[in-house]
Structure 1
């Protein structure tokens, strides 16, 4: 049986975390090559396939530092996607302007795209130049609010072997803080009664049993959960057959503290019967 070569091409905004991401991929067994011109990627992959003790996982990082050598990236990606001897995933790391500015000021490094221009102008130019690449990406990860450890965990969950079970990330969030940029599907539970307006429940979260029990007691909650989980039971094997490698399910309420946390708990526990599930609560601690 021929083993398909797993290939990850990592790109994105300068300062969005590509170095950390490459370290994470290397930790889970990828042979990593940084700043390789895209036109050379097929040649190196051919060498990898024919090498003694041939590699099974290869990751490339490239960005606009390569100048004109970066331009063939999308053409190269399409070429690799068409090959039957490998699985190719294009990952785009992004972050908002404020985060990128802060990271550059903390590191005291110049922006590689235009080191003589203002930092904000360089970031804007880079974002415009990368619009088509971002649109073509299989996975977009927003690292704005991610600690280094969280980004590493995210990539590990997506690309580490999982014995045929689909990795699923269930994340609760607050709509007031924005929808998770990498969510594949989003459930809005703001229609449920809100524990925020119950004085004795307000300080707690959906991880605490009084709030969890309050959210779960309503007939509308039970109907919603039954329908949502029935749909997910149908979708998971369909996504796997289609070739999807990872699923992110967002469950949102207003502040991300009560209702979404409780529902995410229930959904995650249900899905653990058939998938490798990670549960996180993005905004649980933002409100007092």
Structure 2
């Protein structure tokens, strides 16, 4: 089991980091007292493979409970539970600005400190030992949300392409456009199996229909160009931190040509190691 322990300074981006880890398949728990981490790992180990990647956030919000972090890290090592400690930091000026912009209260204000500025400096001292033991340190002072997610993907994904879920879908224009789709391709310009008696009542899931659609040179050229475009766009979307992308193909009724192209793109992207899904919105409609 892969375990990431996320800690660091308040306001440095731990919540955004958890969101990025969830997007790439981690089971995440925020604000966990350190003494519960090993128990949580044991539960995950008993999940019979349902949980393979886990991430927990533990930080100064735990108050005195946070003091047990290092004992817990040593306990994990003694039990041969492998983990990586990720530490998030940022400059004092950035942390203060973020707190003032969000108008949230720093965990140490009102307890150990009377001002935000004092709390930021005090927390940095308290967290210095955790920083020393970290496997990874990310300074988010100049990172956008997209840049932080890209760094998380590069750190914890063997294949960065799997950091985004790509949904390939088909639909029929006569039932309305999919307004939630990111990319829409109209394939009504291609040969229509609907006008072939033996294919009319079949769908693009049938080999005969797929072969009929793709025997046209226009179909093969169009699909090649779509693949080139998708290959060009995916890294751009990933760099912007996009976690989901819907690519839709539309034909008249959503049963033949659009289904064929959605299935072909799904197979193409899956073979390249992308995290993909496919669905056919209108395939069962009359």
TM bucket normalised to smaller: 0.5 to 0.7
Question: Which stretches of structure 1, 4 residues or longer, exceed 6 Å deviation after superposition?
Answer: none
Give the match for residue 20 of structure 1: 16
Give the match for residue 67 of structure 1: 63
Match 1:121 to one of 118, 121, 124? 118
Distance 1:9 1:113 in 2: 22
Return the offset for 1:80: 1.7
Matched, 1:8 2:4: yes
Give the match for residue 154 of structure 1: 151
Give the match for residue 136 of structure 1: 133
Give the match for residue 77 of structure 2: 81
Distance 2:146 2:79 in 1: 33
Secondary structure of 1:40 counterpart: helix
Give the match for residue 37 of structure 1: 33
Name stretches of at least 5 consecutive residues in structure 1 with no aligned partner: 164-288
Distance 2:77 2:19 in 1: 24
Return the offset for 1:14: 0.2
Secondary structure of 2:87 counterpart: strand
Return the offset for 1:150: 0.5
TM-score scaled by length of structure 1: 0.53
Instruction: Please tell me the root mean square deviation across aligned C-alpha atoms, in Å.
Output: 1.5
Give the match for residue 54 of structure 1: 50
Match 1:101 to one of 77, 96, 99? 96
Distance 1:159 1:99 in 2: 26
Return the offset for 1:51: 1.6
CA deviations 1:228-256 (Å, max 9, x no partner) are xxxxxxxxxxxxxxxxxxxxxxxxxxxxx
Name stretches of at least 5 consecutive residues in structure 2 with no aligned partner: 161-286
Task: Kindly name which structure, 1 or 2, has the bigger radius of gyration based on alpha carbons.
Answer: 2
CA deviations 1:102-137 (Å, max 9, x no partner) are 100110111111246111100011011111111111
